[in-house]
Amino acid sequence: MPLEIVRNDITKMNVDAIVNAANSTLLGGGGVDGAIHKAAGKGLLMECIKLGGCKTGQAKITDAYKLPARFVIHTVGPKWKGGNHGEKSLLESCYRESLALAKEHNCETVAFPLISSGVYGYPKDKALRVAIDVISDFLLENDMTVFIVIFDKAAYKISEKLFSDIAEYIDDNYVDAHTDYSRESMRMKMPMQSVMAADFCECRASDLDSKLKQLDESFSQMLLRKIDEKGITDAECYKKANIDRKLFSKIRSDVNYKPSKTTAIAFAVSLELSLEETEDMLRKAGFALSHSNKFDIIIEYFIENGNYNIFEINEVLFAFDQKLLGA
Ligand code: APR
């Protein structure tokens, strides 16, 4: 999955580069800066002294010494002063400059803390949005795996409104397992010919043969058909689905490939399918959406609201302790 949100201590991340939320002296401090210097050992400070500091919004790279990573990319985030002092563009620059340095040093995996969201007071939900927007834009053009590392889940914040809207939607729709009559299980109870009839009345008689063909096409065939119908490239589809190239080529080359449920849904979201089409695509992979499953209800919320931003969906899935979309 090219962009993952994980709970961890960034000093433990076994990646090519970890990013440090430093201050302009680069001589260490508290928070993640202190944790990284402590774990890396003296060598890191010795190297930082030679760098002669760093401007806000800029980034510099050093070795990682005793850390499991190969590099530490030090960047200096903006102090939050209410939001009208260019804080957002400076924070965007921190992510952009750090990603550029990681790319320059051929890093395949990079881990970020939520820069400026601690001592520097940047509201966590706004800081997370900036991180996700800049990183996901970068990943549309570059092959890299990027982790956003959340240290203290309690402080993890998506916007209050979004959180309460979804919590309400879950309450309205969540049913216990034994009483769940998901759309799919209702359809499965209808004899085949009436499902056919239901499908039939939705389309002109002349589409009957393509409808019949679609009924028995595989997941992979439907995915490729939808990519063609949408007029997008394979790369646009799998990047928007937060799926890496290797997995996509496996699916493309195996007509009977059976993806995981999160992968199937990630493609449905990437193709901006309706709920019906999503259920159809899931059925071809052997799955169904169910109201006894919070993950499914959150997906349904986003599709019903026409919000297909997979990174925003993952932000919410993470907040509700659910699996994330993508490989
Ligand atoms: N791993 C991952 N994330 C961490 C860790 C850790 N070990 N420790 C803290 N964090 C998180 C915090 O929870 C916060 O969400 O990193 C985010 C950034 O918080 P700070 O470390 O306080 O950094 P920042 O807000 O950018 O302030 C930078 O603080 O430590 C000093 O020297 C630093 O002066 C600079 C200022």
User: Mind listing the domains of the chain with CATH numbers?
Assistant: 3-157 (3.40.220.10), 162-319 (no CATH)
* 77 Cα: distance to centroid of ligand 1 (angstroms): 10
Q: Which of 25-29, 291-295, 323-327 has the lowest mean pLDDT?
A: 323-327
* 84 Cα: distance to centroid of ligand 1 (angstroms): 22
Is 234 or 156 the better-scoring residue by pLDDT? 234
* 116 Cα: distance to centroid of ligand 1 (angstroms): 7
Residue 51: is it exposed, middle or buried by C-beta count within 10 angstroms (0-12/13-18/19+)?
middle
Report the pLDDT averaged over residues 297-324.
92
Q: Say what the pLDDT of residue 190 is.
A: 38
Whether 33 is a known active-site residue: answer yes
Q: Do residues 111 and 135 lie in contact, with contact meaning Cβ atoms separated by under 8 Å?
A: no
Is the pLDDT at 180 greater than 50, yes or no?
no
* Ligand 1 contact, 32 CB (< 6 A): yes
Is the pLDDT at 183 greater than 90, yes or no?
no
CA-to-CA dists, residue 230 to 140, 217, 233, angstroms: 18, 18, 9
Q: Say what the pLDDT of residue 214 is.
A: 67
Residue with tokens 């957002």: 88
Is the pLDDT at 188 greater than 50, yes or no?
no
Residue 275 CA, chain-centre distance (Å), reads 20
Q: Which of 1-15, 83-97, 99-113 has the lowest mean pLDDT?
A: 1-15
Is the pLDDT at 308 greater than 60, yes or no?
yes
Is 176 or 101 the better-scoring residue by pLDDT? 101
* Ligand 1 contact, 170 CB (< 6 A): no
Q: Ligand 1: which of 13, 32, 112 to mutate, judged by most atoms within 8 Å of the beta carbon?
A: 32
* Ligand 1 contact, 131 CB (< 6 A): no
Is 162 or 317 the better-scoring residue by pLDDT? 317
From the CA of 121, give the closest atom in ligand 1.
25
Residue 200: is it exposed, middle or buried by C-beta count within 10 angstroms (0-12/13-18/19+)?
middle
Q: What span, in angstroms and rounded, lies between the C-alpha atoms of 59 and 22?
A: 9
Report the pLDDT averaged over residues 196-219.
61
Is the pLDDT at 16 greater than 80, yes or no?
yes
* 86 Cα: distance to centroid of ligand 1 (angstroms): 20
Q: Which of 15-19, 76-80, 165-169, 311-315 has the lowest mean pLDDT?
A: 165-169
**N residues, the chain:** 327
Q: Say what the pLDDT of residue 207 is.
A: 63
pTM (2 d.p.): 0.82
Residue 116: is it exposed, middle or buried by C-beta count within 10 angstroms (0-12/13-18/19+)?
buried
Is the pLDDT at 152 greater than 90, yes or no?
no
Q: Summarize pLDDT for 233-289 with one digit per residue, the tens.
A: 999 999 999 999 999 999 999 999 999 999 999 999 999 999 999 999 999 999 999
Q: Say what the pLDDT of residue 210 is.
A: 67
DSSP 207-258: GHHHHHHHHT--HHHHHHHHHHHHT--HHHHHHHTT--HHHHHHHHH-TT--
Q: What span, in angstroms and rounded, lies between the C-alpha atoms of 158 and 36?
A: 26
Is 10 or 208 the better-scoring residue by pLDDT? 10
Is the pLDDT at 204 greater than 60, yes or no?
no
Percent of the chain with pLDDT over 70: 87
Q: Summarize pLDDT for 192-201 with one digit per residue, the tens.
A: 344 444 444 4
**Closest residue by CA, ligand 1 atom 24:** 116
Is 211 or 68 the better-scoring residue by pLDDT? 68
Catalytic residue among 16, 33, 244, 280: 33
* Ligand 1 contact, 119 CB (< 6 A): yes
* 324 Cα: distance to centroid of ligand 1 (angstroms): 24
* Ligand 1 contact, 20 CB (< 6 A): no
* 72 Cα: distance to centroid of ligand 1 (angstroms): 14
**Closest residue by CA, ligand 1 atom 35:** 23
Q: Say what the pLDDT of residue 193 is.
A: 42
* Ligand 1 contact, 22 CB (< 6 A): yes
From the CA of 152, give the closest atom in ligand 1.
13
Is the pLDDT at 179 greater than 50, yes or no?
no
